[in-house]
């Protein structure tokens, strides 16, 4: 599977996918110390984003979320890369200051073909997200 999107923050990463169908708030929704999603009722509640290619539709929440992402990078609990249908400013800012590759404008239907546990390679410089066969 090969998906084409838009580069928001450049860079390359590869890792296990964690796919959510829910929007994500890094402020109050993800524990920066552990990288675990803590938002009650979230479809990936209790799962860690650390070192994963975190795939979700869009971000939400407070502007403090940008600094939470930066803190996670410094603590080693941040995602390796992020893939969205539509990136909003808070998420983009966090990825810029943390240096986390970020791709958006992935078609929502194409996003449905991605599943947690897949190995994904993100070449944000080219806007390409592809599954890696092991």
Q: Tell me, what CATH number does 28's domain have?
A: 3.50.30.10
Task: For residues 99-123, give the mean pLDDT.
Answer: 91
With 70 as the cut, is the pLDDT of residue 52 above it? yes
* Structure confidence at residue 119 (pLDDT): 97
Which listed residue (62, 66, 126, 131) is catalytic? 62
CA distance 29 to 36: 9
Give yes or no: 25 in active site: no
Would the pTM count as exceeding 0.85? yes
Burial classification of residue 80, based on how many CB atoms lie within 10 Å of its CB (0-12 exposed, 13-18 middle, 19 or more buried): buried
What is the extent of the structural domain holding 19? 2-38+46-131
Compute the CA torsion angle 61, 63, 69, 71 (nearest 10 deg): -130
* Structure confidence at residue 131 (pLDDT): 95
Tokens of 94: 């966090």
Outline where DSSP puts E strands in the chain: 2-4, 6-9, 12-19, 53-55, 81-83, 102-104, 119-123, 128-131
Tally the domains of the chain. Answer: 1
pLDDT digits (tens, 9 = 90+) for 67-96: 999 999 999 999 999 999 999 999 999 999
């Amino acid at each position: 599977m090969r998906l084409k999107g838009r580069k928001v923050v450049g860079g390359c990463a590869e890792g296990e996918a964690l796919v959510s169908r829910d929007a994500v708030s890094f402020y109050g929704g993800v524990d920066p110390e552990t990288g675990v999603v803590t938002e009650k009722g979230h479809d990936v509640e209790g799962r860690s984003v650390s070192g994963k290619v975190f795939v979700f539709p869009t971000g939400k929440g407070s502007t403090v979320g940008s600094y939470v992402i930066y803190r996670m990078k410094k603590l080693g609990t941040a995602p390796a890369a992020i893939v969205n249908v539509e990136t909003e400013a808070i998420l983009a800012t966090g990825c810029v200051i943390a240096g986390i590759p970020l791709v958006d404008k992935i078609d929502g239907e194409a996003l449905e073909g991605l599943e947690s546990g897949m190995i994904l390679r993100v070449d944000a410089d080219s806007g390409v997200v592809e599954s890696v066969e092991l």
